[in-house]
Chains A and B, each alone.
Chain A
Amino acid sequence: MSGYSKTLRGIKISSGIAIGKAVVLSHSAREVSRRIISPDEIQTEKDRFISAIKLITEQTDILISQMNQRELKKIGPHLNVQKMILSDLRFTEDVQHIISTDLVNCEAAVSKAFEKYSKLLHSKEKALLNARSVDIKAIEFLLLRVLSGKIRDISLLNEEHILITNDMTPAELYYYSKQKVTGIATEHGGRNSHTAIVARSLNIPAVTGIPNLTNIVNTMDNVIIDGLNGFLIHNPNQRQIQEYSEKKVSFCSFTERKPDGSEHIFVSKDNQRVFVYANIDFPEEVDTAISLGADGIGLLRTEFYFIERPRAPSEEEQFRSYDAIASRFYPREVTIRTLDIGGEKIPGFISPHKEENPALGLRAVRFCLKNKNLFLTQIKAILRASHRGNVRILIPMVSRIEEIEETLNIINEAKTILRQENKKFDPDIKTGIMLEIPSMIFILEDITGYVDFVSLGTNDLVQFIMAADRGNIELFDSASSLNPAIIRVLSLIFEKIQKTQKPVYVCGEMAAEEENIAVLLGIGYRRLSMSPANIPFFENFIRRLEIQKAASLVKEIISMKSEKEIKPAIERFLNENN
């Protein structure tokens, strides 16, 4: 049964693209039978419970025995936690006790026991969205699936499938990854859940947090997982399937072909070198970026270390993480963006404040300057990771010179403290700003006197210039990066920075679309940073592109008055180019 194409927004937990038929593993309320039993059924229900646990434990042991060294190290511990919870005396006794005293079947007893646990945890952890309760929930779902016979052997399927489920344990994910499952989407879960970490280690595109998903999608529906943007496309149309197939094919073939990263050179057809950097959300993506030949990290987002945590990470913890990444990439440069939270994304350890308009609120550098200890700790950690000389600092959401001055003061303060503490760092560390608030365009000449480089955050820049949310499907046209205002602004910014001879980077998902790449390179930008999953697509595209001709294209479209004129001109160009 096919219907209209529909894009469902979720949270991206593992990048990449998957296209295929959905297999829905669910146990929505109507499918799990919870019922009252008679006293002579007690033993039968207890036995069912014990054999379900035995089955899962045996299967988990088999999985563990088949793992290679790397998997054992990265995934093994998560599977052991699951095993331990299932064989836990308190848990098994609780369930059996509920069966015999409440006279309910095993499904009802399992749900009741888990409900009790999650209530207990929530009462203690308050608003904190904690990985602890998320992981336990996944185990409940697994048990219910096994009990209701919903778990199926999908190894017999011969097409690539995308798993749709309420939630999933790391063990299940690992198991399915060995079958023909190429992507997953779930209703529950978090960025830092064990399942998310395992998905990233296994390079399986995954999206979570899509409400009601298992009721919307039916088994055998066509779906696309866009792990780059956190979308699931239900019943994609022909155009979407084609677009995503191209991205996916280039991604797969490139990751498999060049594991050492040695042969990647990003050169256009007319022999112009383009520098390609990676945008990194999660530490697990670093290996992918290296194997794809990235020239460095253009944007290391640090929110991962702060969200879904009970406390802010210490300087030492941050230092170790940043340092490990900097050492993996050395001598290539690693640009670390200071914390970009605030608005809606406030970590649990800071008391949230309601804002009318979070996107225009107290976020990023504004937030950090008001939480100076947090900021100073992070800057110290970044500085310490710079001792090899390949780390740079990037300040997000700057709107005024004063913010740059204050931040530079904090960086100097951090340097003084580190000198007193006898800790190594790069005294000449380069500092740049993220250009994403339009005010900066008008004072660009003044700003470049303060900083060593500028990075364009195209996602926010376009949104702020057009006052349109990229994620709002109704505003698709308004948030387009191909309208005349945006093209002219991008060109103006480039000219202004060019005069200062400071390097300029483009960080944003603009580099994921052929049209945008042609425009950016045509204007003159040569340093682009993108999600690792987009790099192969990009490499493939620029090999066929003559940048000289893209420059002529830009000359032609820059005077055009509307996107209606611009789009066909770019399309013609791309067709001739292919």
Chain B
Amino acid sequence: MSEKAQIRVDEKLVREIASLARLDLTDDETKMFVSQFKDILDYVSVLNEVDTDNVAPAYLSSSNKNMPREDRVEESVPTEEFLANAPQSKDDYVLIPRVHVEQ
């Protein structure tokens, strides 16, 4: 984990990550995560012991390759059934709040 393992975990970092993860954390949650992050990152740093210089990463858990299927036309889900799960809908479309609101 090289020099990056010396990462400083503080409230500023936790708030930055929360913003990337789109989580509106409370102050209590932020404080709790600071201490838990330190413990967990400290624990996983044990991987530094392992020499992986000549090891290729294993992204899949078995050797099988992805097998794309043939693209066939099939009946799709009726629109109303799909929209039944939408929080709001209008005229066969999913309705969302304004992307940008003038301040």
Partners in one complex: no
- Hey, which bits of chain A sit against chain B, CB under 8 A? none
- Hey, which bits of chain B sit against chain A, CB under 8 A? none
